[in-house]
Chains A and B, each alone.
Chain A
Amino acid sequence: MPMSYFIGLSVVMFAMGILGVLLRRNPLVVFMSLELMFNSANLLFVAFSAYHQVLDGQLFVFFVMTTAAAEVAVGLALIVAIFKAKRTIDLDQMSSLKG
């Protein structure tokens, strides 16, 4: 398969991720969009790793996945805390930190 397919898929996934983060109001969906972006990056890592015949890229993917897992854990905990305080998890309601 030509390399450009992987890159194209990755770009599409990343764009979907960005749009999800920017447009959705549900934090769970936002998190999923974030994961989408992580994974688009991971896809590229793996693709280039295979293409160049070096293992560094595949190694890096594990780090990214670990970080993503930790980030989700923290994020979900925050969301639970916010829900307890505000009785809602709508992102548009969380705008008290403004000038």
Chain B
Amino acid sequence: MSLNEIASLHPFFQLAPLVVFLPVLGLLINLLVGKRLGEKGIGAVASLATGGAFAVAVLLAVGLAQVSEGGTLTLANWINLGDLDVNWSFRIDTLSVLMMLVVSGVGTLIHIYSIGYMHSDVRHNEDPGRFRRFFVYLNLFIAFMMVLVSSDNFLMLFVGWEGVGLCSYLLIGFWFEKGADGIGNARAAKKAFVVNRIGDFGLLIALFLLFYNFGTLNFTEIFAQAPAVAAAAPGAIMAITLFMLLGVTGKSAQLPLYVWLPDAMAGPTPVSALIHAATMVTAGVYLVARSQALYFEVPAAQNAVMWVGALTALFAATIAVGQYDIKKVLAYSTISQLGFMVAAVGMGATVAGMFHLTTHAFFKALLFLGAGSVILGVEHGHAHAHAGEHGHDSFDPQDMREMGGLRKRMPLTFIVYLIGALALAGIAPLAGFFSKDEILAAANEKSIGVYVLLTAAAFLTAFYMGRQLLMVFFGKPRSGASEKAAESPLLVTLPLVILALLSVFGGALNLPGSHLLETWLEHSLAETAPGQFVLTVALISIGIALLGLLLAWLVYGRKPIFEKGQPDPLRRPLNGLFKALENKWWVDEFYHTVIVRPYQSIAKFSAGAVDQGVIDGVVNGMGSLVQSGAKAWRRYQNGYVRSYALTIVFGVVLVITYLVLR
């Protein structure tokens, strides 16, 4: 379908490039004249830029409602090299527009929230100048994310993929001079970047293989050829999909590369909400959903994706139970929920995966932003409780053991947080129930093992969310800071309320019976399994969720929750196991011993023995060889003409002797 045809089909599609260029415009304005705009101005420009992108996405959706097959808009020819022809094109179809809507919609709310949050955060960290930088990064992220989801070929997708990785790095290390030993945040950023490199290596190899086997990187052409190539070279498709899975495990924080995401919580809370919960980490899910045509050709790869997702879902959920940091709990919860999505797209239940991606973006963004509001309140309380005291103490505003009783101090935050937590736990009729239930129903059909894993993860989800709610909002305050905590300003709470409404009604997107999202997505996806609603599965999932919440209440809610300084009530009954959960199963330590440490010693060996020893040795050896050679030869350069003459005579005699005797 040519550009002109599209243009004549629907004028809205011509607006597609704006989803990238509006955020870019916003960041340029802030970069160039932001200093003069003041905090309100900077926030307004950034939010309007993202909001504009959202408006464009809505227009695209309206256009798609009329022309459901969508189209492609080519902006520029990027690479034209022999067989390779890569354009910067915008693929407008229901899948990409759904992602655009989620990214820009949730993104806009988080931008607005950030105006209020960062106002306090930059003051708390004593560098108000960084307010502008934050919004520049945020807009840059939105732009790259849009490049990622709107691309019509794998290479532009990779550009976006790397771009959001860069923004993630920049924003995790936003307070790069803070954290443990003044380097903790920088280290977290570095870790995220390096771990993502491993995943990106996989994706890059997959891209090379794609080009090698298909001769193109364009989505449409590749997916059209997929069955033929799969018949000719099944191994190639297998390798492509598995390398792609490696990329997914990096970006979407799945086993075994998930370790960067919990550390990424070093970034400011809006970043955790936007990048590390709602949007960037779902890029892997999007990639698998987009490449569905490839995955359908190799069921073994599908199974691999499914099992990776399911195992991650359960594994991360167990760790979340043993965490005390309010954001770390949410981080592990995100990993676990991403596991649900990855398992879903692996099963071929792509609609269910995308549905969960959307609702998860709502309620996880809500939870993170709520956690940010709690942190603001506690920081505020801390400043008041310790007014007049000087010197820096080791107070951690994210430690749930220091909270408690915030329900009364921050009523609005409490209510929206409760909604988010219940949605995440999967209590009907909130959004999370429907999306999770669809995944569980699909798993029930596909593989009983996966179903059991996911159900267990769902149970733990309800449990750790109940634990968090009880620890943060119920009981008595456990520190002066939480006693004096105050509700956050309107700019912070307003996006929370909107997200809470979305978390309540988001399930309407794909209600059993109406299947709105499924009819929407079936134009983009190779094949969609008809969504099902299995009553037993739904009842079990609600029952499990309620059981988890009840258990949490039995452990943490019945008595006044443990006093300050007391161990977690779970520690005694679980003993060693809880210690393992608390220490995240020692995965970080394991990686450190098995990978980082040997790697470092190899590096040290290469730097010392190989580089300084062998390579420098060769170079220095050449030098000293020439030097000592010269030292020997200079004895003959003695300045006496007669000795030179003697040499000449010898030479002549030799030459003549040779000529004569020849």
Contacts and interface: CB of A to CB of B under 8 A. Distances in A.
B634 A22 contact: no
A53 interface: no
B660 to A, nearest CB: 14
Contacts of B646: 22
A21 B652 CA distance: 15
Contact of A94 (B630, B633, B637, B641): B641
B640 interface: yes
Contacts of B633: 99
B637 A99 contact: yes
Interface residues of B, number: 12
Contacts of A21: 642, 645
B540 interface: no
Contacts of A98: 634, 637-639
A22 B641 CA distance: 9
Interface string A4-37: 0000000000000010011100000000000000
A96 interface: yes
B657 to A, nearest CB: 15
A22 B649 contact: yes
Nearest to A91: B641
Contacts of A22: 642, 645-646, 649
Contact of B642 (A23, A96, A97, A99): A23
Interface in B597-645: 630, 633-634, 637-642, 645
A95 B639 contact: yes
Given A18-B649, A22-B649, A99-B634, A91 B642 contact: yes
B311 to A, nearest CB: 74
A96 B634 CA distance: 13
Interface in B393-430: none
Nearest to A23: B642
Q: Pick from A18, A23, A95, A99 the residue with the most CB of B within 10 Å.
A: A99
Contacts of B638: 95, 98-99
Contacts of B639: 94-98
A58 B642 CA distance: 31
Interface string B648-660: 0100000000000
B632 to A, nearest CB: 11
B264 to A, nearest CB: 65
Contacts of B645: 21-22
A75 B82 CA distance: 71
Contacts of B637: 98-99
Contacts of B640: 91-92, 95
A13 to B, nearest CB: 15
Nearest to B649: A18
B488 to A, nearest CB: 83
A94 B639 CA distance: 7
Nearest to B633: A99
Nearest to A96: B639
A66 to B, nearest CB: 23
A9 B305 CA distance: 102
Contacts of A18: 649
A89 to B, nearest CB: 13
A42 to B, nearest CB: 18
Nearest to B634: A99
A23 B633 CA distance: 23
Interface string A73-99: 000000000000000000110111111
A96 B640 CA distance: 9
A59 to B, nearest CB: 25
A98 B642 CA distance: 13
Contacts of A23: 642
Interface in B276-322: none
Q: Pick from B634, B638, B639 the residue with the most CB of A within 10 Å.
A: B639
Q: Pick from B633, B641, B646, B649 the residue with the most CB of A within 10 Å.
A: B641
A11 B353 CA distance: 106
A59 B633 CA distance: 43
Nearest to B646: A22
A98 B633 CA distance: 11
Interface in B129-143: none
A85 to B, nearest CB: 16
A94 B633 CA distance: 20
B455 to A, nearest CB: 88
Contacts of A96: 639
Nearest to A25: B642
B217 to A, nearest CB: 64
A23 B637 CA distance: 18
A36 to B, nearest CB: 14
Contacts of B642: 21-23, 91
A28 B138 CA distance: 92
A4 B231 CA distance: 96
Contacts of A92: 640
Nearest to B638: A98
A50 B640 CA distance: 40
Contacts of A91: 640-642
A22 to B, nearest CB: 5
Contacts of A99: 630, 633-634, 637-638
A97 B641 CA distance: 10
A97 B646 CA distance: 17
A21 B646 CA distance: 9
A95 B636 CA distance: 12
Contacts of A95: 638-640
A95 B642 CA distance: 10
A26 B633 CA distance: 28
A17 B637 CA distance: 24
B635 to A, nearest CB: 8
A94 B642 CA distance: 11
Contacts of B634: 98-99
A91 B637 CA distance: 15
B634 to A, nearest CB: 3
Given A23-B642, A91-B641, 18 more contacts: A18-B649, A21-B642, A22-B642, A22-B646, A91-B642, A92-B640, A94-B639, A95-B638, A95-B640, A96-B639, A97-B639, A98-B634, A98-B637, A98-B639, A99-B630, A99-B633, A99-B634, A99-B638
21 contacts: A18-B649, A21-B642, A21-B645, A22-B642, A22-B646, A23-B642, A91-B640, A91-B641, A91-B642, A92-B640, A94-B639, A94-B641, A95-B638, A96-B639, A98-B637, A98-B638, A98-B639, A99-B633, A99-B634, A99-B637, A99-B638
Interface of B: 630, 633-634, 637-642, 645-646, 649
Across the A-B interface, the 6 shortest Cβ-Cβ residue pairs: A95-B639, A98-B639, A99-B634, A99-B637, A22-B642, A98-B638
